[in-house]
Amino acid sequence: MGMTDILSLLGGLALFLYGMHMMSNGLEAAAGNRMKSILEKLTSNRIKGVLVGAVITAVIQSSSATTVM
């Protein structure tokens, strides 16, 4: 693994984290308090939260997007 590979890995990771940050900000601006209240109702206990998270991840096929929510 050369220096180019390491720099590519770090650059890719930085780009991924930046994208997650931007997506989080966009979702917050678009939905804001409404999404927060819906998620609070859907995840009122741990088991319910795990099930809702699994279903959302399966539907949108992205655990990263689910994490941002």
Q: Please tell me the predicted confidence (pLDDT) of residue 65.
A: 60
Asked if 49 contacts 43 with a C-beta cutoff of 8 angstroms, the reply is yes
**What single-letter amino acid sits at 51?**
L
pLDDT for residue 67 is more than 70: no
Give the predicted TM-score (pTM) of the model. 0.52
Asked if 65 contacts 23 with a C-beta cutoff of 8 angstroms, the reply is yes
Q: Please tell me the predicted confidence (pLDDT) of residue 53.
A: 81
Which residues constitute the domain of residue 27?
3-68
- What's the domain count of the chain? 1
Q: Please tell me the predicted confidence (pLDDT) of residue 68.
A: 56
How many whole angstroms from its chain centre is CA 56? 11
More confident residue, 2 or 34: 2
How many Å apart are CA 36 and CA 28, to the nearest integer?
9
Q: If you count them, how many residues does the chain have? A: 69
Query: How confident is the model over 13-53, as pLDDT tens digits?
Result: 999 999 988 988 887 787 777 877 887 888 888 898 888 88
